[in-house]
Structure 1
């Protein structure tokens, strides 16, 4: 029987298993017998829990889920059935509680709640969806509305949102009345619900859509990249700054061409460690695009990129030392940088070193 069929029959929530032996921690190893039933062995290969289950899961917090094909229960490491096999859905234990579900035949849906490690129902089975507890709270859905509850079942974030993400970078995005906003871990709406679409915060910024255009905001809601992008870039802030700089450099995306703006955005991106921006800046100073031609400034930027390990920049730094472009000529430095480039696989550097012998 395939894992997909078994999941469909047993209706297990949040469970991903394989058909063959899987290693577990704490001296429990899942095995499958000739009848395709599952049990557990210890690290010496001794059977400690007989293979009598259609499927089993990893031990989490001392308990593992087991199924008889139609229902799910939980055993301890001795094989004792701690929670009877009479639930229709179940996850792994997390922070002392586990989300389980039972079919509501009349309503034609599952009802979810939480059990403790003795099998006692500590939060009634009344939710339409329920997720594991993390840091003392769990995401639940009731009547199509999402929120968070604590371990006593009290709502800490009201069940009033149409869509809710998990917390990311200390913030959570949510959708209410067809617009997106952000909440902190206390449930406070810290960024107003005003966006047509939104992404999770990452490294202090998030990409959001307003009036048909995408931009980037900080955790205080201030704009760090203007709303000029047609699509969600799905990239980090430094890369997005480079993208915007290139839009100005080329005059694309409905933006008027401006070397001055391109230079400013490239410098912001370079300040955040973008190698690509450093190389663009080097090129602008080489070609006098928006700035006076300046070989020294060009060399400074290409060397910064080289110091961050970019092989193209390392090779170009070597060439500039050899030719004395933007820096005093220094053959010893040139050879040193060529060797670094060669170590990173640069064919040009290897050829140059051969020619210099």
Structure 2
């Protein structure tokens, strides 16, 4: 599972990125700094409590303090705020600010999933896939959760569902379905999806024929999105070396098209 990628310094932007689809209608802009959020939180406002948790969790205009983040997320999570349940689950899963407790993380993710959080769906799916936190390994439940997240527009959910179909985890291998899920993420400029599409076309099979031109183009796109990644660079060069000179020209032209269309992240 890919690590959470929220690197922001502006609280308003952070709230938009983290709250996402699940809680986008809540007034997170009620406060933008510690004093104003504390004033609102003192009245029991769960959005202000969440804001404080996020400020301390991500170290937004202050030093990161996971213990404080846990306290404030807990207050908001207890009131039923899904995004707070999700973020608190991450802290318990990783042991940041609390003793690591994956069972508690799973419980918090389940609470958030029940409210439609795609982020929590991905994390809970990963726990089912790996049999963590007291959960029995269950590929079918993992896939269902990834699909729920993908349907909600979460790129990690799309990539993870694609991997399940490509590798045949709990399902019959189906490269066509894997391709569909990867593309859902790739169109947003997701580097992992571009890389996985490169592998898909490099390997070929299960309804998707090998296509070295497309494999090279997707690896080139992934390389643009995450420059200097050793695996991407190696595979990009490996595929290119397999192409005859005339086909190299065609592959480069296709790569230029893909990089122009999919080579900028919108996540």
> Normalising by the residue count of structure 2, what TM-score does the alignment of the two structures yield?
0.47
Q: Which has the higher contact order (CA 8 A, sep 6+)?
A: 2
* Structure exhibiting the larger radius of gyration computed from Cα positions: 1
